[in-house]
Amino acid sequence: MNDLNLNKPMLPPLPAAPLATITATPSPLPLAGIRVIEFTHMVMGPTCGMVLADLGAEVIKVEPIGGDNTRKLLGSGAGFFAMFNRNKKSIALDLHQPEGKEAALKLIATADVVSENFKPDTMRKLGLDYSSLKKLNERLIYVSHKGFLPGPYDHRTALDEVVQMMGGLAYMTGRPGDPLRAGSSVNDIMGGMFGAIGAMAALMQRAQTGKGQEVQSALFENNVFLVAQHMMQFAITGKAAAPMPARISAWAIYDVFTVKDHEQIFLAVVSDTQWAIFCDAFGYGDLKTDPRLQCNNARVQAREWMMPVLRARLAEHSAHALSTLFEKHGLPFAPITRPHDLFDDPHLQATGGLASIRLPDGNTTRTPLLPLTLDGQRPGVRLNPPQLGEHNEEVLRGLGYADEQIRQMITNRIIFQEKPA
């Protein structure tokens, strides 16, 4: 640590961190006691940290002085930071100043896992790549989230939409001749999840060997995994998979129907037993006994004439009436829901699938939790999405920094903390 100028005027007392919203959480969580230091931005890396944090790890997010850029995104990116950075602490460090890098190295020395998702040379230039850090701690697990695993493409800049286009997912999602990205950051999110899976696997192996390792997860390879079923379809049948809107469905009734008052609803009848139940429920005896419709494969082949008949008949019913009847008889159905409608979903509300959080701007909202239970409970929110540098003092004190040293780092903009909203 460089010597500090103690002749500078004293700064005001450091503010205490605000309290976090607490939700029901299994105790103890499986990753309690694991410390993760993340150098991440956007979605992929932060998702990895969020999963590990939700499962109990202490995750410390090292941000640049200006903060993770997703704090400022508009439009479809406006929800990124709030969604993928709960249960984390934030420290804002200038890694380009010697004191900032020194603090980062001291922090990494306390870590079980380091996670990053920057361009390949970024961490190397800072001396924070795996090759450099493993010399300091052979037990360290280092998770890299990239566009591509090492190979001919690894120099390219990748985004979720880029790999969806080159990896076959956009082709499968759109209509023929009209490739369309999926309606969520599926590769970023799943790539982060696979990074977390790799980190947990490496922790398990370290318990046996005493040694850490590097884990790599990548957008392109994740996308290939998502379309692997269609690759295998071609390998088995010799026929290329058609885009989903133009595919020959494996089931005869598996469609969106426009019904009374121009409402829409998804209805499915996917077995011969369900077909009999469906016909009985709606009084379609003529269809039930039609020799051309006696098994699922026959109904698939009859879709050209059968579906117009069903669409005309079902159009007489409201979406609510169809939902009620399908639910009563155990048949698959779904309303066509917009994402923001899910805040009012009765199932999510009743099962604790949404937890209250406070946003860095001071507003409150609810956020979806991990889609799993541990001992019957959903891992919840222990810490709100942090303000930039909210945990500077807590983290640095834990590394042995004195208050006056911390004040000097604030003065020299080696660390930065946003004022509470």
DSSP symbol at 17: P
Q: Are the beta carbons of 90 and 20 closer than 8 angstroms? A: no
Q: Which helix (H) or strand (E) holds 53?
A: helix 44-54
CATH level 3 topology of 249-339: formyl-coa transferase, domain 3 (3.30.1540)
- The token pair at 77 is 């990116």
Q: Which of 87, 99, 141 is nearest to 116 (CA)?
A: 141
Task: Point out the residues of the chain with pLDDT beneath 70.
Answer: 1-26, 421
Q: Are the beta carbons of 244 and 172 closer than 8 angstroms? A: yes
pLDDT given for residue 106 in this prediction: 97
pLDDT given for residue 18 in this prediction: 39
pLDDT given for residue 283 in this prediction: 97
Task: Kindly report the pTM of this predicted structure.
Answer: 0.90
Do the bridges between strand 264-269 and strand 253-258 make them parallel or antiparallel, or are there none, so unpaired? Answer: antiparallel
Q: Which residues in the chain are classed under CATH 3.40.50.10540?
A: 35-227+349-416
Q: Which residues in the chain are classed under CATH 3.30.1540.10?
A: 249-339
Exposure string of 93-122, with b = 16+ CB inside 10 Å and e = fewer, is bbbebebbbbbbebbbeebbbbbbbbeeee
CATH level 3 topology of 35-227+349-416: Rossmann fold (3.40.50)
Q: Which residues are catalytic?
A: 188
DSSP symbol at 358: E
Distances (CA, A) of 345 to 342, 348, 350, 356, 373: 5, 5, 9, 15, 19
